[in-house]
Every structure is written in structure tokens, then in C-alpha cells.
Chain A
């Protein structure tokens, strides 16, 4: 116990054992998996049609946003190139399903159904469809353990989307709150601000939403403001999560090149007027 609290020597042993016990999670989760499956089988045609329509509408909305995103990203990368800073690489994601929950009420950790066999490594960020979910803390053969951002032991470097004020969002052990740590009372943070990952520290990719500021309390006696943040991720409802893979630094150059190509194509499709601009930048660089 002492060894583990201070070193990482026992991690390989843990992951080996995890491969043995992971079936137990799946058996324990089976009532929920089964009820989902049964629900899918017995839903009526009308329900399916209605759901299909809703989903189609969402796909339309999202594809419209993503078209804009491609153009914006290309523009952003051009600007970054002009400034001489490195272009951001795209992140790959892997969809994983929740198969277990750690039973201890003092902690928030879940088990997902992808492990070392899918290339998951310790420290990878996990998202759900709404925002940052947590990070991988232990990888077994076929499952991994993920600590949620609200866990008392978890903290994530963040910035305020509106003005870039940096802070650290620590878990509180409560289901619906994070707390921004060491925020000075003069910091420009108001209720409703969107908090996103800053990418500092290199563990979490920058720019993913973490939560919205739900209250700012300034005590006259304290040098720090107490800022509570409500996570945007649906921490207790999401059954599918996304594990983020950082682009491999070794293949950085080539993927960056591919990326440029893809962007130029996207640009051509998205906006004819931008084309000349892009050519100019290409010539400069």
C-alpha cells in the first residue's frame, strides 16, 4: 500500500490483475446492458421513425457547423503559420462504452470497455458528447478505469473562454460541481462564463468545454474568490464516451502535411474566395 501510494512500480501488476477481474464488471453491468438491448428490440416503429427524424435534423445542424469549422480551422492555421507558431494537429478519438462503476461513494470512477488492446494508455483524456469527462488512470487488457473530473483527487487546467483567464478546476467530490482553485478576487470571472481546457500541462487537449460558472462568491475576509463550475458533460448519464488520442509526435510532420492538404481541399469546397489567400500563404511558407 505504501509502495503504491508513492511510486508507480506496481502499475504493471495492477493491469494484469485488471484483465482477470474485468469480466466481473461486465456481469455486474449486464442488467443495464440487457435492458438497453431489450428496449431497442421492443421499441415501436413510430418511436424509431420519430427518433430517426430527430437524429437527421441533428446531423444536418452538426454538418452545417462542421463545414464552418473546417473553414475556420483552415483560417486559424493560416494565421498561426503567419505568426510562426505550430499548426494544431487533429486529435483522433475512440468510442468506448461504460461497463462498470467503482462502488465507493467517496470517489467517482468508471470502467470503460476498451483497454490496452485498443492502444489506450494512462493519462488520456476522456470526453462525452457535451464536454470533458475525465482521464484514464489505469489500463487493463480489455478495460480501463477512468477518473471523473468531479472526483476529489482530480484537477484539470482550464481557462475562461471569454477572456482567457487561467485557473485549475478541481473536483469537489460533489456530483455537479467543480471548483476553480486560487482565483484572486480581482479576476474577471462572472456567472455564466464557459470554462474550457487550456491544454497547459499537455495532458488534456486545449479547447474542450469543461463547464459553466454557476456561482462566484467573494468573501471579504479571503484573498481568493470561490468559483463553482457546473460540468457540461453528463457525468452520471453518459453511457458512451470518447477517448482522445494525441497525435504521435514522430509522425507529426507527415500528418501535418496531410492535414494541410485536407484543409486546402476543404477550403476549395467551402469557400472559393479564400483560395487565392491560401495560395499566397502557401507561397510564403
Chain B
């Protein structure tokens, strides 16, 4: 995430993903719509790692995750752990993942975001009375469905801004 050589595009996209994570609908709309929010950060981080594995570091992502924790009011370290996990998986297999069809990539996204949701339930269970709800499965589903769009959009930005 070095700002030089187009790195600011990566940073900006992550900040926009954070922003999308806290934009909320008008309060008069039904509350269950809140479950349809995809895990934007996982999508964006996954894209940058498989496209430019040398530009996104585990430590940097982990520290970025701390900011996300405060923003989403999650326990400190949770989002860092999730994003670092995603980075590691994507970085370890980036050559293979690039060759996958969009459908297969969608499958990977589903698995990663599902793992993040399950981990979240355990972590929150440590210090909170919140309970598992099946609606939490909507998050991986929506993330998976949005992946092709996010991928094409970010690819266009990447080629446009010549991020190397």
C-alpha cells in the first residue's frame, strides 16, 4: 500500500469500501435490509491481492483492519485478522486464482466471507450477548453475487490509473 506508483488508488478504494460499510438506509426502511450489506473490504482486498500481490502486505492490512474495527465497533483485531487471512489465501494462490473463471472466484469469495462471519460470531460471543442469526448467511451470498461487478469496476480503475 505504498502511496507511490498508484498506491493511493489502492488506499482510496479501501477507504471507499469502509465508507460503503457505514452508509445506512433511511431509518424508516425495514431493518432486515441491513443484512444485505456485502463485506466490501474483503472484496476489495481480494481483488488487489490477486492482481498485485507484491503491493499489499499482511502487516499493512492488519493495521488497516484496526481502523475498520473502530469504525464498525467490532472488537479490536477482528477485521485485521479477517483481512490478513484473506490476503494470505489470495497471496498464496494468486496465480491459480487469476486463472479461475468468475464463477469459481465467486465460490472462493463465498467461502472467505462465510468464514469471516462465523469467526465474527465466535469473537462477539466472547464479550456480548448477541446470538447467531441465519440471516448472517446473506452477507456471504450478497458478497459473492457482487464480486463480478466489483472485479470489473476495479479492473477498469486499475488499468485506467495504471497501478503497477
Q: State yes or no: do A and B come from one complex.
A: yes
Bound-state Cα–Cα, A105 to B71, Å? 15
Q: In the docked arrangement, what's the CA distance between A6 and B76, Å? A: 12
Q: A103-B24, A153-B129, A175-B31 are in contact. Are A138 and B77 (CB under 8 A)?
A: no
Closest chain A CB from B97 CB (angstroms): 28
CB distance from A108 to the nearest CB of B (A): 10
A105 and B19 within 8 A (CB): no
Given the interface pairs A21-B70, A175-B31, the reply to whether A27 lies near B75 with Cβ below 8 Å is no
Total contacting residues, chain B, CB less than 8 A: 38
- Which stretch from B32-40, B48-56, B106-114 is at the chain A interface? B32-40
What's the dominant secondary structure at chain A's contact region?
Answer: mixed
Q: Does B142 contact A (CB under 8 A)?
A: no
Kindly state whether residue A25 has any CB partner on chain B within 8 Å: yes
The residue in B23, B69, B130 that gathers the most chain A C-beta atoms within 10 A of its C-beta is B23
Q: Which of the 9-residue segments A11-19, A81-89, A265-273 touches chain B?
A: A11-19
Q: Mark A91-132, 1 if CB is under 8 A from B, else 0.
A: 000000000111111110100000000000000000000000
Which residue of chain B is the closest to A11 with respect to CB atoms?
Answer: B76
Residue pair B126, A103 in contact (C-beta under 8 Å):
no
**Which B residues lie within 8 Å of A152 (CB)?**
128-131
Known contacts: A1-B126, A106-B130. The answer to whether A237 contacts B24 by CB under 8 A is: no
CB-based contact B32/A2 at 8 Å: no
Q: A66 vs B96: C-alpha distance in the bound complex, in angstroms?
A: 73
User: With A and B bound together, what is the CA distance between A152 and B129 in angstroms?
Assistant: 6
Interface residues of B, dominant DSSP: helix
Contacts of B46 in A (CB 8 A): none
B79 to chain A, nearest CB (A): 10
Would you give the 0/1 interface string for B126-142, flagging 1 where the beta carbon is closer than 8 Å to chain A? Answer: 11111101010000000
How far does the alpha carbon of A47 sit from the alpha carbon of B100 in the complex, in Å? 60
Which one, B23, B31, B124, B129, contacts A105 given CB within 8 A? B31
Tell me whether A153 and B72 are in contact in the complex, defined as CB-CB below 8 angstroms, given that A24-B18, A24-B22, A105-B135 are known contacts: no
Residues in chain A near residue B72, CB distance under 8 A: 102-104
Q: Which residue of B lies closest to A5 (CB)?
A: B127
- Residue in chain A with minimal CB distance to B121: A106
Q: Which of A24, A27, A153 contacts B130 (CB 8 A)?
A: A153
7-36 of chain B: CB within 8 A of chain A: 15, 18-19, 21-24, 26-28, 31-32, 34-35
B67 close to A (CB within 8 Å): yes
Is A28 interfacial (CB 8 A cutoff)?
A: yes
| A residues near B19, Cβ cutoff 8 Å | 24, 27-28
B32: chain A residues at CB < 8 Å are: 105
Q: Please tell me if B155 contacts chain A, counting CB pairs below 8 Å.
A: no
A28, B23: Cβ atoms under 8 Å?
Answer: yes
- A28 touching B129, Cβ below 8 Å: no
* CB-based contact B71/A4 at 8 Å: no
What's the minimum C-beta distance from A112 to chain B, rounded to whole angstroms? 13
Q: Is B163's CB within 8 Å of the partner chain A?
A: no
Verify if B123 is at the interface (C-beta below 8 Å from A). yes
Chain B CB within 8 A of A20 CB: yes
Partner of A138, one of B24, B67, B73, B133: B73
| Chain A residues packing against B (C-beta within 8 Å) | 1-2, 4-6, 10, 13-14, 17-18, 20-21, 24-25, 27-28, 31-32, 100-107, 109, 138, 140, 145, 152-153, 173, 175, 236-237
What 9 new A-B contacts, CB under 8 Å, besides A5-B75, A106-B133?
A1-B81, A2-B126, A14-B70, A100-B24, A103-B37, A105-B34, A140-B70, A153-B129, A173-B131
**Ordered nearest first, which 3 A-B pairs have the shortest CB separation?**
A5-B127, A105-B34, A5-B126
What are 20 A-B contacts defined by CB distance under 8 Å?
A1-B81, A2-B126, A13-B76, A21-B67, A21-B70, A24-B18, A24-B19, A25-B22, A28-B23, A28-B24, A100-B22, A103-B37, A105-B32, A105-B35, A107-B130, A138-B73, A153-B128, A153-B129, A236-B28, A237-B27
